[in-house]
Structure 1
Amino acid sequence: MNNNRIDEKINDVFRPKTWDESITRDSWMVFKVMAELVNGYETMVKVGPCVSIFGSARLKPEDEYYQMATDIAKRITDLGFGIITGGGPGIMEAGNKGAFENNGKSIGLNIELPFEQHFNPFITKNLGLSFDYFFVRKVMFVKYSQGFIVMPGGFGTLDELMEALTLIQTKKIGHFPIVLVGSEFWSGLLDWFKNTLLKKGLIAEENLSLFRVVDTAEDAVAHIKAFYDKYSISVNF
């Protein structure tokens, strides 16, 4: 087996192409992006206030965080919010399951991947969307979420968390509540925020107040509720 075989996507960048080939392919990509955005907007604009739940696709139903995500989703739908997840297995399935079983709106924004991603069975009819482009999918997450619950996860979860933090920090979206669930899991990242980013002046002290860290479903939902109670905002679908 040749371990030095170059990735086809890398190889394609350096492959000689005609001008017609390049412009045709890239132009058609623009239309694919537009189609995903339009389809997403037309579906999501109808769903009403929602909270996104992010987390690993790899956690199983017996995992404590899977069970906690299910509980959180049920409690959030009791407040009147719908639940948005990535639509796949693991924490995403747990969030959709909690909403679906509690007769709440359960939205799945799936991404087409060669592994570990498929629609879970707990998504409200006609509220499952599939995306080819991660950035279009993230637009739907942040545009149509009024709060973010971030469970333990890997690179994808970190990407979604940083997207929300960056957009709130730069005031591109409202200062919606962000809840990190699992103080032990997040402790290393938070230490790095404080001891590296803050000390070097790469973030401001007030940026550390953009999120809340909790260890229970009750506290996660209480933070979302308290945020909207403070502004006397009620959720109506």
Structure 2
Amino acid sequence: MSKEHYENEDDKILEGLKQKPWSEIRSNDSWVIFKVMSEFVNGFESMARIGPCVSIFGSARTKSSDKYYQLAERIAEKISKAGYGVITGGGPGIMEAGNKGAAKGMSPSVGLNIELPFEQHFNPYIDQDKNLNFDYFFVRKVMFVKYSQGFVVMPGGFGTLDEMFEAITLIQTKKIAKFPIILVGTEFWGGLMDWIKTVLIEKYFNASPEDLKLIKLVDTEDEVLEVIDTFYKKYNLSPNF
């Protein structure tokens, strides 16, 4: 039963639990490997030519009238005019705002799109040759992390949390360099930061106080750019100019 023939969630679960012949499993899984490889190769070849970028994460459900959509647009424009490329998930909401702001600047506006059963479609503000499509979340996440020199995290849902904690985990475990992670919106992120400090760290000792230093909490586009510029100057790096 192919995915387009599932009539409801129960059918999908039953299909996943059904015993299949080993020959069928081996054949299907082998072809998946080639599909994954092709997505990695295409992603690496496309992204390697772009230069220093900042990833902007956030909800696909945010309306253009929302203050965080408008703030994300201003942040992306300021980042782009400073010479840093902007990477988003390529869809609507905060992602659209990020690409829209980047398009007003002079640096690349990149979209890493993925096909989802709802809410996802690519937005019109991505550079024509920088709109990449993925079937696999884990391949897409590799592109975000490998080609980003900073992460701006706007208010979002489970997907945004997933992307944010992935970046924090990879930095914490020294799998990637200590690039800045900037949470935008004290009223949105303040409760989470308090929970991390008082519960995760101080009560249960499940993280180190040093880990909090990986995260900056800000409210304005000027603060975002200041954090990114400070990082670049510290390491004598420069953006795309």
TM-score range, shorter chain: over 0.9
Query: What is the TM-score when the length of structure 2 is the normalising length?
Result: 0.94
Which residue number in structure 1 is paired with residue 84 of structure 2? Answer: 81
Give the superposition deviation at 1:13: 2.4
Q: For residues 208-229 of structure 1, what are the alpha-carbon distances to aligned partners after superposition, in whole Å with 9 as ceiling and x for unaligned?
A: 0001000111111111111111
Secondary structure class of the residue paired with 1:126: helix
Please name the residue that 2:26 is paired with: 23
Residue aligned with 1:98, SS = helix
Q: Does 1:207 find its partner at 2:211?
A: yes
Q: Which amino acid aligns with 2:240?
A: N
Q: 2:228 is matched with which residue: 224, 228, 234?
A: 224
Residue 18 of structure 1 aligns to which amino acid in structure 2? P
Secondary structure of residue in 2 paired with 1:107: strand
Which residue of the other structure, out of 72, 89, 97, is the alignment partner of 2:100? Answer: 97
1:130 maps onto 2:133 in alignment = yes
- How many residue pairs match? The answer is 233
Mapped partners of 2:168, 2:16: distance in 1:
32
**C-alpha separation in 2, matches of 1:73 and 1:236:** 15
Q: How does 1:171-182 map to 2 (within 5 A)?
A: 171-182=174-185
CA drift at 1:6? 5.1
CA deviation string 1:53-84 (max 9, x = no partner): 00000111111110111111111112211000
Secondary structure at the counterpart of residue 112 of structure 2: strand
Distance 1:102 1:45 in 2: 21
SS across alignment from 2:110: strand
Output the CA distance in 2 between the equivalents of 1:212 and 1:11.
44
Show the 5 A alignment for 1:166-205: 166-199=169-202, 200-205=204-209
Aligned mates of 1:219, 1:8 — CA distance in 2: 49
With structure 1 as the length reference, what TM-score do the two structures score?
0.95
Measure the CA separation in 1 of the matches of 2:11 and 2:141.
26
What secondary structure, in the 3-state scheme, does the structure 2 residue paired with 1:108 have?
strand
Q: Deviations over 1:137-186 (max 9, x none)?
A: 00000000000000000000000000100000000000001100001101
Structure 2 counterparts to residues 104-115 of structure 1, below 5 A:
104-115=107-118
CA distance in 2, matches of 1:192, 1:29: 40
The question of 1:233 aligning with 2:237 is answered yes
Q: Distance in 2 between matches of 1:80 and 1:104?
A: 6
Query: After superposition, what is the alpha-carbon deviation per residue over 1:87-122, rounded to whole angstroms, capped at 9, x for unaligned?
Result: 000000000000112232100000110110001000
The answer for unaligned runs of 5 or more in structure 1 is none
Task: Work out which of the residue numbers 58, 61, 66 in structure 2 matches 1:63.
Answer: 66
Q: Give % identity.
A: 61
RMSD (CA atoms): 1.1
- Match runs of 1:115-126 below 5 Å: 115-126=118-129
Within the candidate set 137, 143, 148, 1:145 is matched to 148
Q: Distance in 1 between matches of 2:60 and 2:46?
A: 24
Query: Whole-Å Cα distance in 2 between the matches of residues 7 and 171 of structure 1?
Result: 41
**Cα separation, 1, equivalents of 2:12 and 2:142:** 25
Match of 2:118, SS state, is coil
